[in-house]
Amino acid sequence: MRFLRSGKVKDIYEVDDKHVLFHFSDRVSAFDVKFPTPIPRKGEVLCKFAEFWFKKLAVKNHYVRTEAKDKIVVKKMAMMPIECVVRGYFYGSLIQRWKEGEVKLPEGADTRIAAKLSTPIFDPTTKSETHDVPITRDDALAKNLASAAEYDWLEKTSLEIYHAMSGIADKAGFILADLKMEFGKIGNEIILGDSIGPDEYRMWPKELYAVGKIQESYDKQLLRDWLAARGLQQKFEDERKKGIEPVAPALPPEMCNELSSRYLTSYERITGTRL
pLDDT in tens, 187-246: 999 999 999 999 999 999 999 999 999 999 999 999 999 999 999 999 999 999 999 999
pLDDT for res 162? 98
- In the chain, which residues fall in CATH 3.30.200.20? 2-75
Give the rounded distance of the alpha carbon of 181 from its chain centre. Answer: 7
What class is the 78-228 domain? alpha beta
Residues contacting residue 98 through CB under 8 Å, at least 6 positions apart: 90, 104, 105, 111
- In the chain, which residues fall in CATH 3.30.470.20? 78-228
C-alpha span between 15 and 19 (Å, rounded): 5
Residue type, 135: I
Summarised one tens digit per residue, pLDDT across range 143-160 is: 999 999 999 999 999 999
pLDDT at 75 over 90: yes
pLDDT at 92 over 70: yes
The CATH code belonging to domain 2-75 is 3.30.200.20
C-alpha span between 179 and 94 (Å, rounded): 13
pLDDT for res 128? 67
